[in-house]
Amino acid sequence: MPKIKPTKIFIAAICALAIALTAWYFFKPKQEQTQFITAEVSRGDIENSVLATGVLEATKMVSVGAQVSGQVKKMYVELGDQVKQGQLIAQIDSVRQENELKTAEANIKNQQAQLTVKQANLAKVEAEYKRQQAMYAQDATSKAELESALASYKTAQADITAINAQIEQSRLTLATTKEDLGYTQIVAPMDGTIVAIVTEEGQTVNANQSAPTIVKLAKLDTMTIKAEISEADVMKVEEGQTVYFTTLGNNDKKIYAKLRQVEPAPKSINTESNNSTSSSSSTAVYYNALFDVPNEDGKLRIDMTAQVYIILSEAKNALTVPAAAIQASNRPQRKASADKNTAQKERLADKENNPDRPKRLELTDAEKQLIQDGKASMNMVRVVQSDGSAKPQPVLIGLNNRVTAQVLRGLKQGDKVVIADGSDSSNNAAKRSGGPGMRM
């Protein structure tokens, strides 16, 4: 058997090792780079608002009723008609009122005739009394005759006074019957729109028990929205704040206004009894916030539902990030040192002890004041680097409505911040950040 040379064995071993190294290099498991769900820092508008449900009402609505009883003979308006103040709306049968007017006029004429008779009688007894006075002065008549003439004279005067009082009373009755006759014509008390016809033509109304409503008249050129504010939010809401709403029929159109009033008591106070235990602690309490909007085109209608947003604070064209990217700062912003050299030594010590620790933000006095006032806070985000890694970055956050946050310091437009790590967290991150739009 021929002997194999050691050189050949060595070369073969080298070749085998090279083949093994080559195979391991090409077929070794590749280390996967950590993947992130990210969002880009961008500019946009952000607001913090109180959400409420409201109902549209007419600024002013009047129930036009009848003050006299009778049958509605004629209706002069229809539903939706525009009417002017004083315009005739309905006519109630006026036969009874006309008869009462004629009776009152006849009573006055009768009493005036009686007055004429009594005036003539007064003139007669007055003359007799004067004659008796003259005769008594000449001892031509007795004192009894004189006293009888005086009594007749005073009686005639009293009769005149009484009949004048009766005539005055009859004149008041006449004025009342004229007023009642006028009430048979139902007229509009203001300019507005007929929004309801309660009593139909031919129907009989009885004003003796209650004032029956004929029509409902409303001013629709301006609408009032009553928004129900929960007791948890009512402390944040005040007069003069900007408010806007949308309707179910047009969710895309925002109608803006100013908050006019927040009612001091809940609506339930109108239905509660005087008993101190009438309200239950488990009952939700809502307060009405009122504001007015113009309605020239008439598209807003009574009892429409409004989705109301009362703006507490807002920022226009601000740097924003999804709120899901924000983490609470793991170390608070250190107070400014009175000695600049001491502050510089502290920063150098931080860098030497932990070179990977993110740099501390240098805030202005105005920004520090915002933090003290509770209008801003220090937080952390993770910013994606050029090599694909994520580095913590302190940021100053202003307005935060839990969906989007305003960045005051620490990031620039175009930076990519981490929402969540890995594909396993994608669903939760998407929910926190408001849905699609994030990318791996």
Q: Are residues 332 and 427 in the same domain?
A: yes
172 plus 222 within the same structural domain: no
- Round to whole Å and give the CA distance between 396 and 408: 5
- Predicted pLDDT of residue 194: 94
- Inside any domain, residue 369: yes
pLDDT on residue 127? 94
Is 202 part of a structural domain of the chain?
no
For 135, the enclosing helix (H) or strand (E) is: helix 95-137
The pLDDT of residue 35 is 80
Same domain, 304 and 321: no
**Residue 428 tokens, joined:** 């939760």
* Residue 235: CATH number of its domain: 2.40.30.170
State whether 337 and 360 are in the same domain.
yes
Tell whether 225 and 258 lie within a shared domain: yes
Q: What is the pLDDT of residue 330?
A: 47
Distance CA 188, CA 183 (A): 12
Condensed to tens digits (0 to 9), the pLDDT of residues 356-383 reads 566 678 888 998 899 998 889 999 999 9
In a domain, 64, yes or no: no
Would you say residue 353 lies in a domain?
Answer: yes
Query: In the chain, which stretches have pLDDT less than 50?
Result: 1, 274-279, 330-340, 343, 346, 349-351, 353, 424-440
Same domain, 294 and 361: no
CATH number at residue 332: 2.40.420.20
Kindly state whether residues 297 and 326 are assigned to the same domain: no
Instruction: Answer yes or no: is 105 within a domain.
Output: yes
Structural domain harbouring 169: 94-181
- Smallest CA-to-CA distance from 229 within 303, 309, 149, 334 is with 309
Domain-embedded: residue 77: no
CA distances from 36 to 66, 173, 422 (A): 75, 92, 5
26 occurs within a structural domain: no
Residue 210 lies in a domain: no
Q: Are residues 417 and 319 in the same domain?
A: yes
Q: Are residues 309 and 324 located together in one domain of the fold?
A: no
Instruction: Check whether residue 334 and residue 404 sit in a common domain.
Output: yes
Q: What's the confidence (pLDDT) of residue 269?
A: 79
> Same structural domain for residues 103 and 115?
yes
Q: Give the number of domains in the chain.
A: 3
> Given this model, what pLDDT does residue 329 score?
58
Question: Are both 298 and 406 inside the same structural domain?
Answer: no
